[in-house]
Amino acid sequence: GQQLNQSPQSMFIQEGEDVSMNCTSSSIFNTWLWYKQEPGEGPVLLIALYKAGELTSNGRLTAQFGITRKDSFLNISASIPSDVGIYFCAGQARFGNEKLTFGTGTRLTIIP
């Protein structure tokens, strides 16, 4: 099945640093979503993007829907310890088709 390429696979950063991660696909998506998963929990929706070029923020998180519709980016500014977790991108290929394709995740570790 199709999967999204997510990079980097893991990140080790110091508290206070900014974080950038991205997700790419060989095919076009009409919706991009970003989820965060903490140990022992299910993924939690962070940001949803619906339009090419769209830039959306949720607190210190900012995500962008790539202009080619084949990629998306997530930035976290001024990281804090509670940002630790695995970040997943997900894409929906067609409006009205509820199936999501998920990336393989970026594991974020913060060094105090």
Which residues, at least 6 apart from 97, have a Cβ–Cβ distance to it below 8 Å? Answer: none
Of 14-22, 62-70, 76-84, 90-98, which segment contacts another protein by CB under 8 A? 90-98
Question: What residues from 8 to 67 belong to the interface with another protein (CB under 8 A)?
Answer: 31, 33, 35, 40-45, 48
The nearer residue to another protein, 16 or 53, going by C-beta atoms, is 53
The nearer residue to another protein, 10 or 15, going by C-beta atoms, is 10
Does 3 engage in binding with another protein (CB under 8 A)?
A: yes
